[in-house]
Amino acid sequence: MNRGVLAVPVLALVLAGGAPAAATAQETRTKAEVNLLRLTCYETEDTSGGDEIYLQINGRTVWSTADSINCDHDHPNHRPINRRAKTGDQITLYDKDGDLPGDSDDHLGSDVIEGDRGSLVFNLDDALYTVDYGPA
């Protein structure tokens, strides 16, 4: 008899969807839209000729430089981006080098947008870039 009494509350919890209901509420939270404002170069990946930069959001290319970027810590270089993204999006930065057979583009880093404003840092392969973002 006691077994039946204990089983009913557990069965009621499972039928009511206890744990899945919490996950559903979390999934339905809206992501804040942000504007990717500016790319700043502090150190290029290429030692000569500058970097030909492009930016991806969740694996899709959304922005690239019209010309190569040259910079160093004493002379940072700023470029406007003006692209929309959302919190939780992964932003990835590359230097285009894949023009020759067997040569692939240089991955300079990836970062995730957290909150409605901040800076993303890309510092792989001896490069240093930031992307500032703010409310859309």
Predicted confidence (pLDDT) per residue in 84-103, tens digit: 999 999 999 999 986 667 77
User: Does residue 84 share a domain with residue 95?
Assistant: yes
Residues 41 and 95 in one domain: yes
**CA dist., res. 11 & res. 22, Å (int):** 18
Domain that holds residue 118: 33-135
85 and 116 co-located in one domain: yes
- Distance in angstroms (rounded) separating the CA atoms of residues 53 and 96: 6
pLDDT digits (tens, 9 = 90+) for 17-73: 444 444 444 444 678 999 999 999 999 998 888 999 999 999 999 999 989 999 999
**Average pLDDT value for residue range 69-82:** 95
Total domains in the chain come to 2
**Domain match, 17 and 53 both:** no
